[in-house]
Amino acid sequence: MTALDNLFKTPGAKLIGYVPAGFPTVQGAKEIIKAMVDGGVDAIEVGFPYSDPVMDGPTIQAAADLALANGTTSKDVMETLRYAATLAPSVIMSYWNPIEKYGVEKFASDMAQAGGSGTITPDLTIEEAQPWLDACKKNSINPIFVIAPSSNDERLKKVVTNCGGFVYAASLMGVTGARAQVSSAAEVLVDRARKFTDLPVSVGLGVSTPEQASGVANYANGVIVGSAFINAVQNAPSFNEGLAAVKQLATELKAGIAR
């Protein structure tokens, strides 16, 4: 039983905040995580910065590029996770190449030792996931896969029955980024996933306002926000003002969820 499992046993939809390790610096990412949690974020996704993030839009790509330019290493990612896990249930979001290069068993083991609850692997297909599933089971961490509106019922069942912690439901066929509205496909996808699993289902891609968070919380167990937090930092006149904006945004999103 991970900290993430225990979090979802408590009532109410949860607010999950994302930031890449190393953005805008290794220490800065930790400060952003602290501001998120201080504002009401319930769980943290630590992004493993990657040069070809196929699921991520321009905002997160730019943040990841900056983290890589800063020389952020896998060790920095694990240290950021270790810090985050002292504040809230925390996971890593990573594309598969960095995990494979790190070593599948070692990645899972080091994650567990750092206090992490699991890993979101957006580009790992379920057909190729058995070594990862074995490593997660051995180290008692959650394997979190992403489902999309395009998935048929047979594939949905195969994916969600191998998830742990929660199921990550992508709200649309596209990339991350703040949007004017959350796709109506998200609610349909959550309902379809629940036919095959009792796990919590969290929705990501496009949530950026309290109103959107409130809407998603009506049908999902978790509301995932990434680009909006990064924008809050990037658009601020100074980093300290960015931290204040992150905390304020978290407070507003959490209030939206609580409506």
For residue 45, indicate whether it is catalytic: yes
Spatial separation of the C-alpha atoms in residues 95 and 92, rounded to whole Å: 10
Output the CA–CA distances (angstroms, integers) from residue 103 to 98, 99, 100, 123, 150, in the order listed.
8, 6, 5, 17, 31
Spatial separation of the C-alpha atoms in residues 180 and 174, rounded to whole Å: 14
Spatial separation of the C-alpha atoms in residues 188 and 242, rounded to whole Å: 35
The catalytic residue among 5, 56, 110, 187 is 56
CB atoms within 10 A of CB 153: 11
For residue 198, indicate whether it is catalytic: no
The catalytic residue among 45, 76, 110, 187 is 45
Spatial separation of the C-alpha atoms in residues 65 and 58, rounded to whole Å: 10
In contact, 199 and 220? CB cutoff 8 Å: no
The candidate with the shortest Cα–Cα distance to 98, out of 203, 22, 4, is 22
Give the residue numbers marked as catalytic. 45, 56
